[in-house]
Amino acid sequence: MAKQRSASISRQTNETNIEISLNLDGVGSGKITSGIPFFDHMLELFSKHGFFDLTIDAKGDIDIDYHHLVEDMGITLGQAFKKALGDKSGIKRYGFFVLPMDETLVSVALDLSNRAFLVYDANAPISMVRDFNILLFKEFFQAFANEAGCNLHIRLEHGKEPHHIAEAIFKGFAKALDVATQAESRLDGGVPSTKGTLSS
């Protein structure tokens, strides 16, 4: 795992135009511009607490709805992680974290198994933060799981305030992904699977 684990992804459709640059072995430097301030804030928290250097320049038809851009940013971020991880040799593979924020508690567990599956049990009693509906985050995480090849479980244990819930989810996701992408020295560079591969 001595090589630099980084990736750049560009994705353009009739609805969105996204450029992402990712360094897994960074210091948590994030610069996110999407035109959706609350979502930018969540991804900056993700970058900071996962120690990922992440730059995203994203534009989309947010005058219509935030859905297309939020989902497509999940797609491109998942693609960036998959590219940066390569064949996943030498990584821990699994990560989990339980994160408190005031009255809120969120648990996140994931497996970089190349088997995409999302379990999202995080329906907030109040879902709006200003003009942003945090229910959209399910679409973001589904897109990420699909493209990264990630088995991802996110559960709201308890909580009421939607900003706290969203922030706990993204911080917990960052911490779990940080663990899963870290080096496991006992593997001696091998792939963490009895199959010998996590690429298929």
DSSP label at residue 195: T
- Does residue 192 form part of some domain? no
**Count of domains for the chain:** 1
- Does residue 67 form part of some domain? yes
Q: How far apart are CA 195 and CA 113, in angstroms?
A: 11
Per-residue pLDDT tens listing for the chain (200 residues): 457 899 999 999 999 999 999 999 999 999 999 999 999 999 999 999 999 999 999 999 999 999 999 999 999 999 999 999 998 888 899 999 999 999 999 999 999 988 999 999 998 999 999 999 999 999 999 999 999 999 999 999 999 999 999 999 999 999 999 999 998 787 677 666 556 665 75
- Does residue 94 form part of some domain? yes
Range of the domain at 60: 6-187
- Does residue 104 form part of some domain? yes
CATH number at residue 175: 3.30.230.40
Please count the CA atoms within 13 angstroms of the CA of 15 that sit on its side-chain side: 11
What's the pLDDT at 1?
47
Q: How many residues does the chain have?
A: 200
What's the pLDDT at 194?
59
Name the H helices within 14-136.
37-50, 67-85
For residue 80, give the nearest of 23, 2, 26 by alpha carbon: 23
- Does residue 195 form part of some domain? no
- Does residue 146 form part of some domain? yes
- Does residue 60 form part of some domain? yes
Give every CB contact of residue 177 below 8 A, 6+ residues apart in sequence.
50, 52, 81, 95, 110
Give every CB contact of residue 78 below 8 A, 6+ residues apart in sequence.
143, 144, 145, 146, 147, 148, 150
What's the pLDDT at 192?
61
Answer for the pair 132, 98: CB distance below 8 angstroms, yes or no. no
Answer for the pair 142, 117: CB distance below 8 angstroms, yes or no. no
- Does residue 122 form part of some domain? yes
Q: Give DSSP secondary structure letters for 112-158.
A: -SS--EEEEE---SS-EETTEEGGGHHHHHHHHHHHHT-EEEEEEEE
Is 137 exposed, middle or buried, given 0-12, 13-18 or 19+ CB atoms closer than 10 A? buried
